[in-house]
Structure formats: C-alpha cells, structure tokens
Amino acid sequence: MLDVDALSFSYAGRVPIFEGFSWSVTSGETWTILGPSGCGKSTLLMLVAGLLQPQKGKIAVAGEVLNRPRPRTGLILQDYGLLPWATVRQNVALGFEIRRFYGPDGQHAPVDERVEKHAAQVDYWLKRVGIDKLANAYPGQLSGGERQRTAIARTLALNPDLLLMDEPFSSLDAPTREALQTLTLTLCREQMLTVLLVTHAIEEAAFVGQRILLLATPPQRSPRVIENSHVPDVEFRSSVAYQAICAQLRAELSAGERRMSEAIE
C-alpha cells in the first residue's frame, strides 16, 4: 500500500529530518508513529499525504508515485478543520461538493466515482458516528469530541483507502479520547482501511497501533518498528500485554532521550 524509498527531506537551514529513509506499510495495517517533538512525525505524515515533496527518494501509494495529494487519501487533523460558518451536515458534505465541482478527474475525485448528490452517504455517516441529532448545529456549538466526530464522518464518507491522522485526539479529555479511539478503529476495520496515526502519547500508540514506528532524534535513517498485534478493544487496555507494550515504548523513548543528551554534550 505504502512504499517510502530512500526518502530525504529537510527544512531550510535545519538538520535533515529524513536521510535515505525507507519504510513500507501493507494494505489494511494500522500503524502509530511515535516519537519526541521535532523528530519528524507530522512531517512524515504530510509527505505521505502529498502535501510535502521529498528532496530525494520517492513515496508511492497503491503503486503510484506521489507528486500531489491523492483523492483516496483521507486526512484528519488535531484542529478538526471544520468550516465555522457551515453546519455539521454541510461540513460532512464538503468533500462531495468539491468532488462534484471538479468532476471525476483523478486528481480531486477518483476517476471511477459517480458525480451526483450524496445525501444518503452524509446521513449514514452522521448516524454512524453518533451526531445525526446535531446535523443543523454549527462547530461553535459543539464540544471537542463532537467536532472530531464531524471531521471523522467527513473523511470516511469519501471512502478513502488510506487514512492519515495527526494527533486527532490529543486535545480531548481522557474518556472522550478513548471512546473516539475505539470508534475510529472500529470504523476503519469495517472499511478495511490502512491507517497511520501520529501521536506523542505512549498509551495511545500502544492501543491503536498494531505496528508502531518509533522515530528518534533526526536524521531518521532507518525505521524502528515495534510489533503489537492485538485486537484493540476495551479489555485490551487493562491487559498484561497492553501494560507490557507501554513499558517497552517508555523504555525505548527514554533510551532515545539519553542518546540525544549524550550527543549534545
């Protein structure tokens, strides 16, 4: 599904973030990307989204080399990205309106998509994420969890095959965060999506990711992957396996911080 081949990327005047970095993701896998601030987590997600371009190397999704955002990639951000002047229903329908404007050109909409009204899909996803009774409300009238449910519905309604999430639950309270983690994973399994979720929270990485990509101090040259095969459900949070993977991730991150301190000294 995703192939990152000899990727190099840096911001002007900064230490390279990626340098000859290669990594692959199989279709249907759920990954979390974990690491300290400034390690390149969000940068990697923006590169995979096609919003940034490699300076060397290439990124391919579903066998096609990226040179721009692709219509089958969904992106959910921490700040929701909702239009404040539009209702919940209008926000969920936004992607369909954009696709209808451009038509099935293969850039803004898949070439095989029928350009028509999608009221039924909007209604389905409003109900599926539990916000159908808020369809006529505006973002300013919603809680953080309700806003994120709206963003999830808007993204999944477009039938992506790759879902990218950049710390989507970090600003939510713990019960809401855990409920939305479970809901999102359930929906993604139903749709058989490939998922990449960036997080700085060890507990979230351990619960969501069936495979975990650990990033350390740049430059990133080779992937450090932690296997974490499990079925993410409520019981898993209280299991020995969950506690063990959290402890392993905490030890890995602490070791990385020590190496960074030693390098600075």
Tens digits of residue pLDDT in 34-72:
998 888 999 999 999 999 999 999 999 998 899 888 888
Give the N- to C-terminal CA distance of the chain in Å, as an integer.
41
Q: Pull the structure tokens for residue 226.
A: 């932690």
Q: What is the pLDDT of residues 216-228, one digit of tens each?
A: 888 999 999 999 8
Residue 176, classified by CB atoms within 10 Å of its CB into exposed (0-12), middle (13-18) or buried (19+), is middle
Q: What is the pLDDT of residue 265?
A: 47
Q: Which domains does the chain have, with CATH numbers?
A: 1-70+195-265 (3.40.50.300), 73-159 (3.40.50.300)
CA 12 to CA 20: how far, in whole Å?
A: 18
Cβ neighbours of 263 (radius 10 Å): 8
3-class secondary-structure state, position 96: helix
3-class secondary-structure state, position 58: strand
Query: Edge-to-edge strand order for the sheet containing 162-166?
Result: 73-76, 162-166, 194-199, 30-34, 211-214, 224-227
Checking if the pLDDT of 104 tops 80, the result is no
| Mean pLDDT to the nearest integer, 137-162 | 91
Query: Which CA distances in Å does 109 have to 64, 68, 71, 206?
Result: 16, 13, 5, 34
Q: Which of 171, 186, 153, 190 is nearest to 74 (CA)?
A: 153
Q: Pull the structure tokens for residue 28.
A: 């249907």
Q: What is the pLDDT of residues 15-28, one digit of tens each?
A: 899 999 999 999 99
Contacts of 116 (CB under 8 A, 6+ apart): 100
Q: What is the pLDDT of residue 185?
A: 86
| Mean pLDDT to the nearest integer, 72-83 | 86
Q: What is the pLDDT of residues 230-245, one digit of tens each?
A: 766 777 888 888 899 9
Q: What is the pLDDT of residues 110-146, one digit of tens each?
A: 666 665 667 888 999 999 888 999 999 999 999 988 9
pLDDT band at 102 (very low <50, low <70, confident <90, very high): low
Higher pLDDT, 107 or 130: 130
pLDDT band at 264 (very low <50, low <70, confident <90, very high): very low
Give percent of the chain with pLDDT exceeding 90: 50
Q: What is the pLDDT of residues 179-221, one digit of tens each?
A: 888 888 888 888 889 999 999 899 999 999 999 999 988 899 9
* Residue 191, phi-psi category: left (phi > 0), alpha (psi -120 to 50), beta (remainder): alpha
| Mean pLDDT to the nearest integer, 90-108 | 78
Q: What is the pLDDT of residue 101?
A: 65
Q: What is the pLDDT of residue 50?
A: 92
Provide the H-helix boundaries in the chain.
41-49, 88-92, 94-102, 119-128, 144-156, 174-191, 202-208, 240-264
Query: Which CA distances in Å does 194 have to 4, 155, 159, 254?
Result: 15, 14, 12, 29
